[in-house]
Amino acid sequence: MDFLELAKNRYSERYFDPRPVEQEKLNKILEAGRVVPTACNYQPQKFYLIRSEEGLRKLKTVTHFHYNVPLMILVCYDAREVWTNPGDRYYRNYNSGEQDASIAATTMMYEAEELGVHTIWIRGFDSQTVAEVYDLPDYMIPVMMLGLGYPNEKAKPNAWHFKRRPMEDFVFER
């Protein structure tokens, strides 16, 4: 499948089967997140695997959007390892951490799709609570969670998935 077809077919899964993602596939997904481009190649993205019974129980205390996934990747960045641009007038004290972690998460999401593993991007949580519950160091900043697994019998794309605005809403000449 070519990339554009893959991107169009991928949807946010909300109905997961409890069977685990095979380690071989998980390794490929994590490798996709490791090799992504990052600002100045600083590579601040970090991945915390949440798949133990205790970890998944804690997950249900930090977000309602857990969808009973068998595996959640908490995507963070290390604030000590980011590229910064303190002179940017629009984004005062800009750092690349969220951008770099998001590139990694997106790439992992598409690698998972290529491998037949469904995903859901989750940002419905309080970062400080997540950091406390999962005992993250102060410099580790949660950006998002990527739920992974196989679809169950209820799985299907949400009706919104196929609604796309026209290209002219996105592209402008200057």
pLDDT tens figures, 147-173: 999 999 999 998 888 899 999 999 999
Of 48, 95, 103, nearest to 76 by C-alpha is 48
Q: What is the pLDDT of residue 19?
A: 95
Q: What is the pLDDT of residue 162?
A: 87
pLDDT tens figures, 83-114: 999 888 898 889 999 999 999 999 999 999 99
The more confident residue out of 141 and 160 is 141
Question: Considering the entire predicted model, what is its pTM?
Answer: 0.95
**CATH H-level superfamily of 3-151:** NADH Oxidase (3.40.109.10)
Burial letters for 28-54: b for 16+ Cβ neighbours within 10 Å, e otherwise? bbbebbeebebbeebbbbbbbebbeee
Determine the Cα–Cα distance for residues 36 and 106; give it in Å rounded to an integer.
Answer: 10
**Torsions phi, psi of 165, nearest 5?**
-70, 155
Percentage of the chain exceeding pLDDT 70? 100
Distances (CA, A) of 6 to 40, 66, 107, 120: 29, 24, 12, 15
Q: Is the pLDDT of residue 51 over 90?
A: yes
First-last CA distance in the chain: 34
Token output for 128: 């400080």
Where do the structural domains in the chain lie, given as residue ranges? 3-151
Least confident of 78-82, 132-136, 161-165: 161-165
Q: What is the pLDDT of residue 138?
A: 98
Q: Which SS3 state, helix, strand or coil, does residue 141 take?
A: strand
Q: Is the pLDDT of residue 145 over 90?
A: yes
